[in-house]
Amino acid sequence: MKNARKYILMIIDIILINFSYALIYFLKSNFDIHSYELLRFKNDVIIITGIYLVVFCSFRLYKKLWKHITIDEAGLGISACIVANLLGIIYGFTLGQELILSVNILGSILSILLVSAFRMSFIIIKKYLNVKIKEYASNDKNKLREVDFEDLLGRDPVKLDMEGISHYINARTVMVTGGGGSIGSELCRQIIKFNPKELIVLDEYENNAYVLQQEFNRQGVCIDIKYVIASVRDKKRLNLIFNKYKPDIVFHAAAHKHVPLMEENPSEAIKNNVFGTLNVVLCSDKYKVKRFVMISTDKAVNPTNIMGATKRVCEMIIQSMNKRSSTQFVAVRFGNVLGSNGSVIPVFIDQIKNGGPVTVTHKEINRFFMTIPEAAQLVLQAGAYAKGGEIFVLDMESPVKIYDLACYLIRLMGYEPNKDIKIEIIGLRPGEKLYEEVLTEEEGLNQTLHNKIFVGKPTFHDFDTLMIKINEFNTILDEDDREKIISKLEELVPTYKRFESEAAISKCV
């Protein structure tokens, strides 16, 4: 459907460009045109149209959902027209023919007016003629338009190699830690499509596991699924579980992920993220798991918060263990997941439904986004490409400004930003960066078989040395001393540079 929209927009552009040049050509010729001149003109217009399309594609004009176009995107369209016009005029100069040159100049002016007017018309229609949506929203705020998270990406969702994924999951025993969470549960939904021998859903929270169990029961899923209530912190219990089920593949999604909460509870972040991951890694090695795929985050790159720093330690654990284990250990990094528990979109939707304000921490803050199914599929794909020690990254194209996302979502739900629904800037939260990165400098970036998935070259650490440093946390955790924990994290992760203020910290208390 989205590709169809793009092709329609492209066809409309072609029509407008050809109409512009044809109209000028006929007017300049007083409609007295010989057949050989018409043929030459047709060939010239084909070349000029090609120039326009190449420039428009270079400016990524067809990547945007044009029914939700903004002023910025319309401005980008005007810029693309100007560049294409200049190239068209240069083409006319190279021919050196008076008629062709004058047609090029006047045709380019008309085309920029028509193409730009076409794009601007969507803004005018949205602003002045969108009465039905307004009436619908004002009459019943509970009947607002459902938000399609894919619309918010600004790009097409990534489609992955399902055959390759099926090859390593089919007829295997698969375990998902944190299997009841937003990412973990979607992983389970995707995994059952590939007919595993057995699926082990491991989660500490029985409510999450119960909800997923009921969903699969309603669907009549025939896969053998075991729901295991256990914490990744419990080393003895994990050993019993691994010994009983002997999984072939482990997807490790269990983790604390909320940045402000982990800033105030660093000991829990260490216990759950670092030691929890270490426990699952050691069990995977001990019980000969074939592949281990860990869910990581772009916040692990040059982290400025405790959550990101702990996830970087987790990456160091799997990369160092990979050197000494028969198990293939890999990690997958991605940005914010649209619609996941506690993510910005559900928060914004609730704020809009309650009449606002919509709260944004900083007007310039931006993030990479992906949908929950996209995140789960990327994790599965990483398992197919795994050789050991890699960190996989999804090409999420350009980051999205959170402020622009808030404005877009408010309009999508039938309101006007800062008119019907106020947007309030509340200041950065503890450990929050204005922008995220996906790779450290030393990791580099290499293409995989999939054009949207990249892999950073492994950066190995000595496992024994790493374990000595990690085990030093045990004494500090007993004291629950925040400053000591942070200092130890800074020692363990040299790229960790904490960013906090007393005012920001107080907002989390």
pLDDT in tens, 99-137: 566 677 777 788 778 877 776 776 565 554 444 434 444
Output 480 or 172, whichever has higher pLDDT: 172
Do 95 and 161 lie in one domain? The reply is no
Beta bridge partners of 177: 202, 252
Whether 200 is covered by a domain: the verdict is yes
Residue 492 has pLDDT above 60, yes or no: yes
Q: Torsion angle of alpha carbons 158, 159, 163, 167, nearest 10°? A: 20
Which tens digit of pLDDT belongs to each residue from 273-330?
Answer: 999 999 999 999 999 999 999 999 888 888 889 999 999 999 999 999 998 999 999 9
Alpha-carbon distance of 52 to 88, in angstroms, equals: 8
Residue finishing a domain among 75, 97, 129: 129
Whether 144 is covered by a domain: the verdict is no
Do 124 and 241 lie in one domain? The reply is no
Task: Judge contact between 242 and 287, C-beta under 8 A.
Answer: yes
Do 28 and 80 lie in one domain? The reply is yes
Do 370 and 421 lie in one domain? The reply is yes
Give the model's confidence band at 64: pLDDT under 50 very low, under 70 low, under 90 confident, else very high. Answer: low
Residue finishing a domain among 63, 94, 129: 129
Do 85 and 219 lie in one domain? The reply is no
Do 294 and 440 lie in one domain? The reply is yes
Do 106 and 185 lie in one domain? The reply is no
∠ CA 239-241-247, nearest 5°, is 100
299, 401, 433, 452: the catalytic one is: 299
φ, ψ of residue 156 in degrees (nearest 5): -75, 140
Alpha-carbon distance of 253 to 262, in angstroms, equals: 17
Tell which phi-psi region holds residue 369, choosing left (phi > 0), alpha (psi between -120 and 50) or beta. Answer: beta
Total tally of structural domains belonging to the chain? 2
Residue 136: its pLDDT value, please?
40
Whether 181 is covered by a domain: the verdict is yes
User: What's the chain's Rg over C-alpha atoms?
Assistant: 27
Output 33 or 145, whichever has higher pLDDT: 33
Task: Judge contact between 71 and 119, C-beta under 8 A.
Answer: no
Whether 122 is covered by a domain: the verdict is yes
Ranges of H-type helices in 195-245: 206-219, 235-245
Task: Judge contact between 136 and 143, C-beta under 8 A.
Answer: yes
Give me the sheet containing 198-203, strands edge to edge.
225-229, 198-203, 173-177, 249-252, 291-295, 328-333, 391-394, 453-456, 446-447
Residue 506: its pLDDT value, please?
40
Residue 439: its pLDDT value, please?
46
Give the model's confidence band at 213: pLDDT under 50 very low, under 70 low, under 90 confident, else very high. Answer: very high
Do 332 and 402 lie in one domain? The reply is yes
Residue finishing a domain among 95, 129, 163: 129
% of the chain surpassing 70 pLDDT: 73
Task: Give the pair of three-digit tokens for residue 180.
Answer: 């009841």
Do 118 and 156 lie in one domain? The reply is no
Residue 446: its pLDDT value, please?
59
Whether 139 is covered by a domain: the verdict is no
299 is catalytic: yes
Range 249-255 average pLDDT: 96
Residue 228 maps to which CATH number? 3.40.50.720
Which tens digit of pLDDT belongs to each residue from 327-348?
Answer: 999 999 876 666 555 567 778 8
Q: Is residue 19 packed enough to be buried (19+ CB in 10 Å), middle (13-18) or exposed (0-12)?
A: middle
Residue 421 has pLDDT above 80, yes or no: yes
Whether 147 is covered by a domain: the verdict is no
Whether 36 is covered by a domain: the verdict is yes
Beta bridge partners of 249: 174, 291
Residue 433: its pLDDT value, please?
60
- 3-state SS, 51-62, equals HHHHHHHHCCCC
Residue 453 has pLDDT above 80, yes or no: no
Residue 344: its pLDDT value, please?
74
User: Where in the sequence is the domain holding 448, given as residue range(s)?
Assistant: 152-506
Three-state DSSP class for 292? strand
Beta bridge partners of 371: 338
Whether 338 is covered by a domain: the verdict is yes
Task: Judge contact between 289 and 327, C-beta under 8 A.
Answer: yes
Give the model's confidence band at 68: pLDDT under 50 very low, under 70 low, under 90 confident, else very high. Answer: very low
Alpha-carbon distance of 387 to 390, in angstroms, equals: 7
Do 229 and 356 lie in one domain? The reply is yes
Do 317 and 391 lie in one domain? The reply is yes
Task: Give the pair of three-digit tokens for residue 479.
Answer: 């004291």
Do 193 and 325 lie in one domain? The reply is yes
Q: What beta strand segments (E) does 220-277 contain?
A: 225-229, 249-252
Pick from 2-11, 94-103, 326-335 the range whose average pLDDT is largest: 326-335
The residues, ordered by sequence, that sit 6+ positions from 121 with a Cβ below 8 Å of its Cβ are: none
